[in-house]
A and B are shown apart, each in its own frame.
Chain A
Amino acid sequence: MVKQKQKNIGTFLFFGGPAVFVFFAVVLVPLAFGFYLTLTNWNMSSGQHRFVWLKNYKQVFSDASYLSQLWFTLKYAFFSVIFSNAGAFFLGLSLNRGMKGQSVLRTGFFTPNLIGGLVLGYLWQILFSQVLPYIGRKYGLPLFATSWLSDTGRAFWALVIVNSWQLIGYLMIVYIAGFVNIPSDLLEAAEIDGAGGIKKITSIILPLSVSSITICVFLALSRSFLTYDLNLALTNGGPYGSTELASFHIVQKAFLSNQYGVGQAEAVILFIVVAAIALTQSFLMKKMEVEA
């Protein structure tokens, strides 16, 4: 028995050791330290270290704009997840048939990911604020006559669109890798039984893709909640600070208005909220997974 335990420890250290150790050192330790700092009045410029316990958290909840921004972020994440996953799933399906030019198409849809978030945001910003209004005024399209970024409602959709646009190519790859794992004889058998396209999707592909869907929904959720570069470049929180997503708001608070404790506290709360949502989602979906 002891020998088995030793063997197990050996296995654990060999396989998991490095990744877990580095993960602890780089992610968890700073996180814990950061959490500790929210309980003090530590500030970059003063360097003091006095315990203020929950004062920072109280300030977070008395900040009315924080809660409305959190809700705004939730809406944004929700729509981004839906659009990007629906799009990626169907694109993945379409580009998995071995049709001509498939590689080109796959590469094409993936290209948005080749450009970093900040620059991408600036490009779309020009598109929404200069290019589209120019076209809109020229051809008399009222929807595009003024910049989408000048109005809170339309700026929200601009964020969702660009985010989904970038996510689709990324998620499509994950879905394709998953489709590859679906045994082709199952599909052939179904065809022989007379199942049409839609039936194949709903009865075979969808259930066997649950693990891909779990991963993709989780990825889309976490990426959406962590959006910062895109927010900064596309709207910069505008118009008049009405499109500040959670991460952006945290950076503003912690670094720009030098309220580090409050900003970090907001980050801790955000983390708890997102973790709760994401983990509930993957827990529920993992239950639906079919173990091959």
Chain B
Amino acid sequence: MKKKNSGTIVKNLLLSVLLVAFLFPFIEVIINSFRTTQQFISNPVSFRIQLSLKNYVTAYKSMNFPTAFFNSAVITITGICLIILFSSMAAYLFARFKWRINSVLFFIMTASMTIPFQVVMIPLVTIYGSIGFLNSRQALLFMYLGFGAPFAVFTFHGFIKGIPIALEEAASIDGASKIRIFFQIVLPLLTPVLATVIVLDVLWLWNDYLLPSLILQSANLRTLPLSTYNFFSSYSVDYGPLMAGLIMTLLPVLFLYLFLQKYIIEGIAAGAVK
């Protein structure tokens, strides 16, 4: 017993030290969001805490925070719903129906995750620009579904494979339709993975800069990352307000992650996996 305790203490200590090292840049952002840019440049290492909210006010105003926040929220939430719904369905199809076409499509989708965005950027904008399908939230969401599907399908596919097929077979014998089997049996079992994909995709959509900058050209459609980049200028960065803007941008996602963490655990405790 004693041996186990000291081992655990050492391990806890190690983890805590590692955690601090991990969080160091994050701590830097918090501390420096309260200092002016000039102070930061002349001494990046200072740990002296001062609590001036000047940067936050500047950032809030020049980022047009409420509008940007609303835009980011709409895009992220809608995007997530679309990706989760359609990708889980496609993943179910690919995992359970062993047709040739399914393996081929799954292969292509998975392979496409290796395509750098810059490669399709110009053709994408050229094609959709010529049919006038740009500068709208619908266009952006359409593209996010297309780009987000491969990863989601890939992840769901792997986990569906790990679910015992016996449950579905039993339901099928009982006369349940495929749709019913999917929504009532398979989907609930995917809960841990759903949470995982949601968190990862939320981060992607919430922080994405490049695609929105190309698609959304009107000022009133601008998302948070687009407005945060106001603080970058030709040669250097206005660090003070930038850090404040960053904190304001990441707080919602942090809360979401904390919230979902609980949900993952709850889902398991409810005995979903068996």
The chain A residues found within 8 Å of chain B, CB to CB, are 8, 11-12, 14-16, 18-20, 22-31, 33-34, 37, 44, 94-95, 99, 103, 105-120, 122-124, 126-127, 130-131, 134-135, 165, 169-170, 173-174, 177, 180-181, 211-212, 214-215, 218-219, 221-222, 225-226, 228, 246-247, 250-251, 254-255, 260, 264, 267-268, 270-271, 274-275, 278-279, 282, 289, 291-292
Residue contact B26 to A107, C-beta cutoff 8 Å: no
Contacts of A109 in B (CB 8 A): 19, 22
Residue contact B225 to A226, C-beta cutoff 8 Å: no
Residue contact A292 to B163, C-beta cutoff 8 Å: yes
| Cα–Cα, bound, A97→B113 (Å) | 33
**Which residues of B, 14-60, contact A by the 8 Å Cβ criterion?**
15, 19, 22-26, 28-29, 44-45
Residue contact B143 to A26, C-beta cutoff 8 Å: yes
Residue contact A116 to B207, C-beta cutoff 8 Å: yes
Residue B158 at the A interface, CB < 8 A? yes
| Cα–Cα, bound, A27→B145 (Å) | 10
Residue contact B162 to A27, C-beta cutoff 8 Å: no
| Cα–Cα, bound, A197→B177 (Å) | 45
User: Would A26 and B261 be within 8 Å (CB), given that A127-B25, A211-B162 are in contact?
Assistant: no
Residue contact B122 to A260, C-beta cutoff 8 Å: yes
Binds A, one of B61-69, B70-78, B168-176, B195-203: B195-203
| Cα–Cα, bound, A222→B44 (Å) | 34
User: Would A31 and B115 be within 8 Å (CB), given that A211-B161, A291-B161 are in contact?
Assistant: yes
User: Would A267 and B23 be within 8 Å (CB), given that A16-B90, A116-B209 are in contact?
Assistant: no
Which of A95, A215, A254 is B118 in contact with, Cβ under 8 Å?
A: A254
- Chain A min CB distance to B121 (Å): 8
| Cα–Cα, bound, A264→B118 (Å) | 9
Residue contact B162 to A115, C-beta cutoff 8 Å: no
Contacts of A135 in B (CB 8 A): 45
**Which residues of B, 180-202, contact A by the 8 Å Cβ criterion?**
182, 192-193, 195-196, 199-200
Residue contact A181 to B192, C-beta cutoff 8 Å: yes
- Chain A min CB distance to B233 (Å): 13
Contacts of B89 in A (CB 8 A): 14-16, 18-19
Contacts of A99 in B (CB 8 A): 8, 12
Residue contact B45 to A267, C-beta cutoff 8 Å: no
User: Would A15 and B90 be within 8 Å (CB), given that A127-B25, A173-B196 are in contact?
Assistant: yes
Please, which residue of chain B has its CB at the minimum distance from the CB of A271?
Answer: B115
User: Would A278 and B44 be within 8 Å (CB), given that A22-B146, A120-B25, A177-B193 are in contact?
Assistant: no
Residue contact A173 to B199, C-beta cutoff 8 Å: yes
Given contacts A15-B92, A109-B19, A115-B246, 15 further A-B contacts (CB under 8 A): A12-B93, A12-B99, A16-B90, A16-B105, A19-B145, A19-B149, A22-B146, A26-B143, A28-B112, A31-B123, A112-B26, A173-B200, A177-B192, A218-B110, A278-B114
The chain B residues found within 8 Å of chain A, CB to CB, are 8, 11-12, 15, 19, 22-26, 28-29, 44-45, 86-87, 89-90, 92-94, 97, 99, 101-102, 105, 107-120, 122-124, 126-127, 142-143, 145-147, 149-151, 153-155, 158-159, 161-164, 178-179, 182, 192-193, 195-196, 199-200, 203, 207-209, 225, 228, 237, 242, 246, 250, 253-254, 257-258, 261-262, 264, 268, 273
Contacts of B87 in A (CB 8 A): 19
26 A–B pairs (Cβ distance < 8 Å), ordered by A: A14-B179, A19-B90, A28-B108, A30-B127, A31-B112, A31-B115, A108-B19, A114-B207, A116-B209, A124-B25, A131-B45, A134-B45, A169-B22, A177-B195, A177-B196, A177-B264, A181-B192, A215-B154, A218-B110, A219-B151, A228-B118, A246-B116, A267-B116, A278-B110, A279-B107, A291-B162
Residue contact A251 to B22, C-beta cutoff 8 Å: no
Contacts of B207 in A (CB 8 A): 114-117
Residue contact B154 to A23, C-beta cutoff 8 Å: no
- Chain A min CB distance to B145 (Å): 5
User: Would A23 and B23 be within 8 Å (CB), given that A115-B29, A211-B162, A247-B118 are in contact?
Assistant: no
Please, which residue of chain B has its CB at the minimum distance from the CB of A117?
Answer: B207
Contacts of B110 in A (CB 8 A): 218, 278-279, 282
Residue contact B90 to A34, C-beta cutoff 8 Å: no
Which of A44, A130, A181 is B162 in contact with, Cβ under 8 Å?
A: A181
Please, which residue of chain B has its CB at the minimum distance from the CB of A134?
Answer: B45
Contacts of A221 in B (CB 8 A): 114
Contacts of A112 in B (CB 8 A): 22, 25-26
User: Would A12 and B101 be within 8 Å (CB), given that A27-B115, A112-B22 are in contact?
Assistant: yes
Which of B22, B151, B161 is A165 in contact with, Cβ under 8 Å?
A: B22
Contacts of A278 in B (CB 8 A): 110-111, 113-114
| Cα–Cα, bound, A30→B150 (Å) | 16
